[in-house]
Amino acid sequence: MADFSIRTYKDRDYNAVRALFAEGLLSYIPSTSVHLLKRPHVYMTIFVSLVTLHLVFKSYLLSVSSVGILLAAGFIVMKTIFNSYINKCYREDLLNIKESYMTAHNSCFWVAESNGRVVGMVGVQPVQDSCHDVVLRRLSVATDQRHRGVAQKLCMAVIDFARQRGYKHVTLDTSTLLHACHRLYLRLGFRITRVKRHQTLTGRIADVSVIYYAYDIKT
């Protein structure tokens, strides 16, 4: 039996939810770094830089150290981008979670709790200009609580909520970098509706796309 429970959000969860959201996103920095280093244009740039620096300094140690500094700087830039997105969300729906989800029409927010600690979260809101669809948002699970079925239970809470209110589809979108999320959604019965290439400079450099999913609610 799972030693966690799913319940609706309460005001006392505010700080824990925001911290959990940040923790969840920042935990993907290492896998994003690996993804970047596997891109042909990225490792080719590193190789060319290494050769060029060696020709300039005539020293393997200095050239390798310089490339290491460049990689470290790139890591800092990536972390800054992640933190910028987190702060953007803090200023939007996560600024006032109660107003965004608990008092808004046909919206809700849940947390997963284990031993008095918030270990998971998810929200749902109606899709604008649609009376048939809702969107699953802000799904996140604490890094030390993953692979225990927490995310699946949170998704099922959203699906049940949508079914009870007569919606036909639960939609969501996520980055191609979040491999575990894709496995979860497909296992739950979500289908891919479209794939869109990230139009930002960072997205193009990293070769990242957004994958859109929909879950068809059976009545």
For position 162, what pLDDT does the model report? 97
Lowest mean pLDDT among 49-58, 123-132, 133-142, 200-209: 200-209
Mean pLDDT of 168-195: 92
For position 91, what pLDDT does the model report? 97
Architecture of domain 5-12+96-216: 3-Layer(aba) Sandwich (3.40)
Written as one letter, the residue type at 156 is M
| DSSP strand pairing (191-197 vs 209-216) | antiparallel
Which are the contacts of 72, defined by CB distance < 8 A and separation ≥ 6? none
Report whether pLDDT(203) > 70. Answer: no
Residue 103 CA to residue 106 CA, distance in Å, equals: 9
Token output for 48: 């060319």
Kindly state the helix (H) or strand (E) to which residue 108 belongs, with its residue range. strand 108-114
pLDDT tens sequence across 71-121 = 788 888 888 988 999 999 999 999 999 999 999 999 999 999 999 999 999
For position 10, what pLDDT does the model report? 97
Closest CA relative to residue 62, chosen from 70, 53, 72, 73 = 53
| Domain limits, the chain | 5-12+96-216, 29-90
The model's pTM is: 0.85
pLDDT tens sequence across 13-49 = 999 999 999 999 999 888 877 777 777 666 677 767 7
Separation in Å, CA 125 to CA 7, 131, 148: 17, 11, 26
Closest CA relative to residue 117, chosen from 7, 16, 8 = 16
pLDDT bin (cut points 50, 70, 90) of residue 204 is low
Radius of gyration of the chain (CA): 21
Backbone angles phi, psi at 124, to 5 degrees: -140, 140
CB 136 within 8 A of CB 172: yes
